[in-house]
Structure formats: structure tokens, C-alpha cells
Amino acid sequence: MLTAVLSGFVMALVFGWAGRWMRSTAWTLTGLFPTALFIYFLTFLPVAGGDGVLFSNSWVPSIGVNLDFRMDGLALLFSLMISGIGALVFFYSSNYLKGHAHLHRFYGYLSMFMASMLGLVLSDNLLSMFVFWELTSISSFFLIGFNNNDPASRKSSMIALAITGGGGLMLMVGILLMGYLGGSFSIVELLHQTDVLRSGALYGWIIFFVFVGAFSKSAQFPLHFWLPAAMKAPTPVSTYLHSATMVKAGVYLLARLTPVLGDEVYWNVTLVSVGALTMVYAAIHALFRTDMKSILAYSTISALGIMVFLIGIGSRESLLALSVFILVHALYKAALFLLTGIVDHETGTRDVTQLAGLRRVLLPVALAGLLAALSNAGFPPTFGFLGKDLIYEATLNVRDWDWLLTALAVVTNICLLWAGWVVGVKPFVGKLPESFENVHLPSPLLWVPPLLLAVLGLLFGLFPVLISEAFVGKIHQSVYAASLGIPGLKLWHGFNMVLLLSAVTVVSGFVFYVLVKPSKRWESMLKRLKYFAPEQIITFLWQSFERFSSKYTNILQYGLLRFYLMIILLFLITMLGYKFFTGVELRFDPRLFTGITIYEGVIVALMFISIFLVVFSRSRLHAVVAMGVVGYSLCLLFMDFGAPDLAMTQFTIDTLTVVLFVLVLYNLPKYLNYSNPPARFRDSLIGATFGLIITLLALEVIQEPLNRETSKFYADNAYLLAKGKNVVNVILVDFRGIDTLGEIIVLTVAALGVFSLIRLQIVTKKNKS
């Protein structure tokens, strides 16, 4: 299982590096990799019921981060969707992006994304899940901005990363709180802690953070706007990320945590209201669009709203509806996106007001569009019909507000029917415009995937048994309660309220479609209202934040080094001074002075004299040399107190510092009096105060009883564990070797910084002269 999940990352590297030399036929074959994963996941069908199968791999056990994967119903559905639709997208893209200069990058990102998504849905450990969660954000950032020469593309990928990545950070807080309260990061173990989590005072915060994470990823109102913007991505990416996989991650998370955190009034009310708002808002928004991808984007947001809404209701029926609807949506939406790609690819436009009559030239595509639109409309006997019925059954069974919720669901479905029909059917009916007469059917690599998905939508509707035993029951078990039996799915439920509502939806949807045509006028009308859109508000918020921070930065960091130094010292004086003022009792023992030897006295006197020279000298060279003397005196003190290692290092460093100073001084004017007397007074005051505070601090520190535990540990173990007698060196290279590694990396960065900054200056100077 570990190999299956992580293989995508390996493939990403392979594609990224070796892909440059691969031919287009080779890219077609890459689709076999997700296909193999799909088949591998299919083998879990018989065993994924109940609690599922657990695969444990320890990663960082000391902080409870493990790569534990659990294959249960929910994870199975998602991993099959990810690998299955992934395989179709792999095949599709090999033709869609044929000859693209950066195809190897595209496949690299795509494999990375697929692997992160699989890791996300299979992880049982919340922290490793979070890692995969953020990886999906990052890889989708690459994919959305794939056409990185286009500024709009870059901007939309930045927005997507900011929203989903930011939401991910909030989720992290929620996860940490859950792990802290529940005592474990394992989802299965947290199931036993549900009472602790739900009754705790922090419950509100936990669900708040989890919600922000899930809503940002699953594009819930008001964080939805990144998804339509992300339609700048190549169409296969939109298909994969924005209909089938990534945007469902939030839904997945909520479904996954329902047994842990759900079934609580705040949880349910928030999800129902946010979900309902999102589904209605986005469904109505879809009516105002003419671009096929925009329509699909908004109808996706609306569908995600329905899913969140169903999780919020939280009844048996609604969770059953959820498990069916996730699959229904993935099938028809991926098909619609893929056919949009074909239409765009062949005709060069996605504007539905211009497209018509394409069935004459793109027959199989038109067929896929019709089937997908029918499933989307919930027309019997498609799989969509089943899904819609289950949704109505769920809303009708809510105790209070059932009529309101049902009405909202009906309105949403009418708008969604319209959207599906406009994208899936409208471009193919009517008279073919002359300009499109030369359009011809592309390679089967393009049209087979959407047709396959659309046919599956019909097949599952005709034979719901295919699905009910295999998936739905198991998902239901993993979300609702493991002990429940498997509910059966039937296409025909008899004449009842649900059927009536379904009929109302379909009929009024078609009437609506006939009456309302997508038009540019509607679209421009919406643009006038954009000042009230959440996108504008959030953009405004972050712009003001940027303005604020740039002002604030200008006040504190205006480019003079001595001013920075002053601010740092003042800050330290305030903090330390406050601490001394409030908490610390000064104890001063004059007997300490009696222990001073003559050497120490001489060294300190030497230091005093040099310091005065540094401060009052009128020549820079004198000051530098005097400072060197201070450093050397310090070395002598170290020697005297038995720290030869420290003394040696200090001695060499001091030498080099003086050399550096002398070199730098060459660049400065010979002598200039930069400061005036008031500034000097101010600086000396700050300097003296800081010195005084540090002295007090030092005195306080030596008053504290020494803790010898640490030094004793090192002294005892240096030779036993690291075979060294010099404890300082053993600590540096062995016990705390990673620190040293970090330090030499920092040194490297510093050297690179100096080298590049100064080199750059020299080169520009040369170029100018």
C-alpha cells in the first residue's frame, strides 16, 4: 500500500527528468500507470467493508506521525475515483496537450498530484493526512499555473494556493487540537474519544478550524471564488482537480470526521446552512455565464454545496445520498469537462452562445454530452436519478424545516439541470454554423474517456446492484456506523412524494431551459454587482493588509543599519527591563569580588581601556584594533576559566573579524563626523542602559544554582557513545550534529549572499563605466 501511494511521487520524478526525451506515443502509455493502480485498488473491493484494512508504516513515531493507511469504503471510493479518472485524464492529456513543450512537467505535476490525493484519502493519521493535503494544494498550484506565461493563469494559481493553502494551515490547528485532546492522531483511535472531543470546551474551535480547512478546499461560500478562477488551467486539469478529486477533499474530510466530531448541533447547523447557501448561490450564478468552463465551475461549487449540506443533515438517508451523489457527480461532471475540452480543442471557442449543431461532426462526443446531461438532470433511468431521489428523501426526512430544505434542493437541481443541459446538449443541437464545418472528430484518446464515464452513469443507473453492494453500503458503514447493515439501492421506489418532486424538477428544469438562454447581457449584468462579491471583499482585505504592513515596515525598517540596531536594543531593554521590574529580585553579593585574581583584574582593565578607545577614537582603524583587543581579552578570560575550545574559536574568529573590518574600512570615506551631539547622547544612553541590563542579567544568572544534569550526561556519555574525549567537539559533531549541519548550511547561504550581492555591484559598476 505504501508503494502504491508513494509510487506517484517516484513517477513524478521520472517524468520530470526523463520526460524530455519521451515521444508522444510513450506519453500515451503512461496512462497504464494509474490504470494499474486502479486495478490494484479494485482488489480491495471484497475486504473494504466495516473498519477496513489497516497498513501501518512508522515515519516519525516520536511525535506520532505515521504513514498509516486505512482502506475502508470511503477511502476505496475515493481512491478508485482518483486512479480511475486519473487514468482517463492521463490518456486524454497525451493527445490534448500533444507536442506541448513542457509535457514532461505536466505529467510530473499530475503524478505528484495523484499521489498526494491518494495519500490524503488513505491516511489514517491526521498529521500525515495534513502533509498530503498541503501537497495537493502545492501540486494543484503548479497545474493551475501550468501555462505560466499567462499572467491571468499565474494570478489564479496564486489565489488558489493562498485560499487552499491558508485553509490548510487552519486545518492544521484543528488537527493539533484534536490530537491534543484525544491523545492520538489516528482517526480510528479518535473514534473512541468522541465524547471527550464533543463535550470539551475547545469543541467549537476544533470544528471552526476543520470547517475553514474543508470549506476552502471544497470551495464553499464565501471561499469559493478560487475555483472559477482556477479554470485557467488546461481542461484535463480542470476535469481532474476541480470536478473529480481535489475539491472533493474537503467533503471527504468532513465525511471522514463525521463519526468523530459530527452528530452535534453546531456541526449540523453550520454545515447545513453553509452548504445550502453555497449550492443555491452557485447554482444561480451558473445561469449568468456563457463560458462552458465557467458554467461547469459554478455547477461544481453548487454540487459541492449539496454534498456539504447532506453531511450537515447527518441522517442515515442523507449520508446514503452523499455516498451515491459523490460518484454520480464525479461521473457526469468529469464527462462534461472532458467534452468541453474537446469542443474547445476542435472549434477554438467555449462560448455556448456561438456553439451549435456540433453533433453532425462530433457524434460520439454529442452522445457523451447527452448521457452526462441526462444523468446530471436526474432523468430516469440514469444514475443521477437515483442520486437526486436520495437527496429528496433525505431532505424530506429532516425533523424541522423539511419543506425549506427540500425547496432549496429543488431550486438548486433545476438550475443544475439547466447548466448541464447548456454544456452537454446545447452545443450539439441546432444548425451547424459555417465556421465549424471543417471540424472533425479527434483521436479516440479524446472522445473515449468522456463517453466511457457517461455510459457508466447510465449503467449504474440501470443496474444499481453493481454499486450498492460494492460501494455504497461500505461507505455508509465507514461514515455512519460500522455495525449497520448495507442498505440496498433500487431504481424504482414506487409512486410517492420523492417521485413527484423529481418530476417537478425535471419538468420545470426543461421549461426553464427552453425559456432562458445563456446570453452576454446576463453576464455583463453580473459584472456590475461584483463589488459585493466575496472575492472583492477578500481581495480588499488583503490589499489593505499589504498596505498596512508596508507602512509599518517603512516606519521600523527604513534602511539605516544603526537605526535597526537601536530598535533591537530598545526592544530588548523594554522586555528585559519589564521582567526585572516585575519579577526578579536583585541579589548582589559583594563577597563575589574577593575571588577575583590579579590576572582577571588586569584583563578586565585592558578591556575597559580598549572599549573607551573604541568609543572615543577619532580614527576608524584605531577603533577596529581596539575592538580586536577586546575580543582577545575575552579569549584570555575563556582560557582562564578553562574553556580552551571556546578561546581558540574566539581567537581565530576575532582575527578574521579585524581583517574583514579593515577591508571594509577601505571602502568608507577616510573620516567624517556623521552624528551630532544629541544623537551621540541618545546612543550612549541606550548603550549604557543595555550594558547595565545585561550586567544585571549576568549577575542574576550566576546566582541561580547550576544544573549539572546536562553537562554530566555529556561528560558521561561522550566516550561511551561517541568515542570522543573532548566533550565540546563530540557535542558538535555527534550529539547535536544536525545543528552543526544546519549551521554550515547557514554559513553557505551567508557566503552566497555576500558573494552575489557584492559581485553584482562590481559587475553593474563595470557595465556602467
Measured from the CB atom, the residue of 556 and 664 that comes closer to another protein is 664
Which residues contact residue 278 at a Cβ distance below 8 angstroms, ignoring those fewer than 6 apart? 219, 220, 221, 224, 301, 302, 304, 305, 308, 309
CB of 664 to another protein, least distance (A): 6
CB of 420 to another protein, least distance (A): 54
- Candidates 598, 663, 672, 720; binder of another protein (CB under 8 A) is 663
Measured from the CB atom, the residue of 680 and 759 that comes closer to another protein is 759
- Taking a C-beta distance cutoff of 8 angstroms, is the pair 339, 369 a contact? yes
- Taking a C-beta distance cutoff of 8 angstroms, is the pair 240, 86 a contact? yes
Measured from the CB atom, the residue of 503 and 648 that comes closer to another protein is 648
- Candidates 354, 519, 539, 655; binder of another protein (CB under 8 A) is 655
- Which positions from 602 through 631 interact with another protein, judged by CB under 8 A? none
- Candidates 437, 589, 640, 645; binder of another protein (CB under 8 A) is 645
CB of 66 to another protein, least distance (A): 16
Measured from the CB atom, the residue of 601 and 737 that comes closer to another protein is 737
CB of 2 to another protein, least distance (A): 17
Measured from the CB atom, the residue of 292 and 647 that comes closer to another protein is 647
Residue showing cell 584605531: 622
CB of 726 to another protein, least distance (A): 5
- Which positions from 667 through 726 interact with another protein, judged by CB under 8 A? 667, 721-726
- Taking a C-beta distance cutoff of 8 angstroms, is the pair 391, 325 a contact? yes
- Which positions from 577 through 606 interact with another protein, judged by CB under 8 A? none
Q: Which of 351, 392, 586 is nearest to 505 (CA)?
A: 392
- Candidates 544, 652, 675, 711; binder of another protein (CB under 8 A) is 652
Reduce the DSSP state of residue 98 to 3 states and report it. Answer: coil
The secondary structure of 125-150 as a DSSP string is BHHHHHHHHHHHHHHHHHHHT-STT-
- Candidates 503, 572, 584, 656; binder of another protein (CB under 8 A) is 656
- Candidates 497, 659, 679, 692; binder of another protein (CB under 8 A) is 659
Measured from the CB atom, the residue of 66 and 95 that comes closer to another protein is 66
CB of 724 to another protein, least distance (A): 4
Measured from the CB atom, the residue of 407 and 732 that comes closer to another protein is 732
- Taking a C-beta distance cutoff of 8 angstroms, is the pair 189, 56 a contact? no
Reduce the DSSP state of residue 24 to 3 states and report it. Answer: helix
Q: Which of 76, 48, 65, 67 is nearest to 252 (CA)?
A: 76
Report d(CA 511, CA 632) in Å as an integer.
Answer: 92
CB of 629 to another protein, least distance (A): 18
Measured from the CB atom, the residue of 560 and 663 that comes closer to another protein is 663
- Candidates 666, 670, 676, 706; binder of another protein (CB under 8 A) is 666
Measured from the CB atom, the residue of 120 and 730 that comes closer to another protein is 730
Report d(CA 766, CA 769) in Å as an integer.
Answer: 5
- Which positions from 372 through 411 interact with another protein, judged by CB under 8 A? none
- Candidates 29, 621, 648, 697; binder of another protein (CB under 8 A) is 648
Measured from the CB atom, the residue of 62 and 199 that comes closer to another protein is 62
Give the contact letters, 737-766, x = binds to another protein (CB under 8 A), - = no. xx-xx--xx-xx-xx--xx--xx-xx----
- Candidates 444, 534, 601, 644; binder of another protein (CB under 8 A) is 644
CB of 739 to another protein, least distance (A): 11
Measured from the CB atom, the residue of 568 and 653 that comes closer to another protein is 653
Q: Which stretch binds another protein (CB under 8 A): 66-74, 155-163, 314-322, 728-736?
A: 728-736
Tell me which DSSP letter residue 594 carries: G
CB of 682 to another protein, least distance (A): 31
CB of 683 to another protein, least distance (A): 26
Beta-carbon neighbour count of residue 38 at 10 Å?
19
Q: Which stretch binds another protein (CB under 8 A): 76-84, 345-353, 493-501, 733-741?
A: 733-741
Three-class SS of 445-504: HHHHHHHHHHHHHHHHHHCCHHHHHHHHHHHHHHHCCCCCCCCCCCCCCCCCHHHHHHHH
Tell me which DSSP letter residue 19 carries: G
Q: Terminal CA-to-CA distance of the chain, rounded, Å?
A: 64
Report d(CA 521, CA 290) in Å as an integer.
Answer: 10
Chain centroid to CA 735? 35
CB of 559 to another protein, least distance (A): 20
CB of 67 to another protein, least distance (A): 17
- Which positions from 170 through 229 interact with another protein, judged by CB under 8 A? none
Measured from the CB atom, the residue of 29 and 745 that comes closer to another protein is 745
Residue showing cell 488583503: 542
Measured from the CB atom, the residue of 342 and 637 that comes closer to another protein is 637
Measured from the CB atom, the residue of 608 and 713 that comes closer to another protein is 713
DSSP-assigned beta bridge partners for residue 55 = 69
- Taking a C-beta distance cutoff of 8 angstroms, is the pair 312, 268 a contact? yes
CB of 623 to another protein, least distance (A): 18
CB of 665 to another protein, least distance (A): 9
- Taking a C-beta distance cutoff of 8 angstroms, is the pair 178, 197 a contact? yes
- Taking a C-beta distance cutoff of 8 angstroms, is the pair 238, 230 a contact? yes
Report d(CA 609, CA 33) in Å as an integer.
Answer: 75
Three-class SS of 150-172: CHHHHHHHHHHHHHHHHHHHHHH
Residue showing cell 499555473: 145
Measured from the CB atom, the residue of 404 and 659 that comes closer to another protein is 659
Helix ranges (H only) for 314-401 are: 316-347, 363-377, 383-396
Measured from the CB atom, the residue of 201 and 663 that comes closer to another protein is 663
Measured from the CB atom, the residue of 169 and 658 that comes closer to another protein is 658
Give me the helix-helix angle, 402-424 and 316-347, nearest 10°. 20
Q: Which stretch binds another protein (CB under 8 A): 348-356, 409-417, 490-498, 654-662?
A: 654-662
CB of 260 to another protein, least distance (A): 33
Q: Which of 116, 119, 80, 97 is nearest to 30 (CA)?
A: 97
Q: Which of 236, 263, 212 is nearest to 92 (CA)?
A: 236
Bridge pairing between strands 58-60 and 65-66:
antiparallel
Number of residues forming the site for another protein (CB under 8 A) = 42
Give the contact letters, 522-561, x = binds to another protein (CB under 8 A), - = no. ----------------------------------------
Report d(CA 385, CA 391) in Å as an integer.
Answer: 10
Query: Does 497 sit near another protein (CB under 8 A)?
Result: no
- Candidates 462, 556, 572, 664; binder of another protein (CB under 8 A) is 664
Q: Which of 386, 358, 342, 371 is nearest to 452 (CA)?
A: 371
CB of 755 to another protein, least distance (A): 5
Query: Does 729 sit near another protein (CB under 8 A)?
Result: yes
Measured from the CB atom, the residue of 672 and 744 that comes closer to another protein is 744
What phi and psi values does residue 59 have, to the nearest 5 degrees? -125, -70
- Which positions from 336 through 355 interact with another protein, judged by CB under 8 A? none
| Bond before 590 cis per omega within 30 degrees | no
Q: What residues make contact with another protein under the rule CB under 8 A?
A: 644-645, 648-649, 652-653, 655-656, 659-660, 663-664, 666-667, 721-726, 728-730, 732-734, 737-738, 740-741, 744-745, 747-748, 750-751, 754-755, 758-759, 761-762
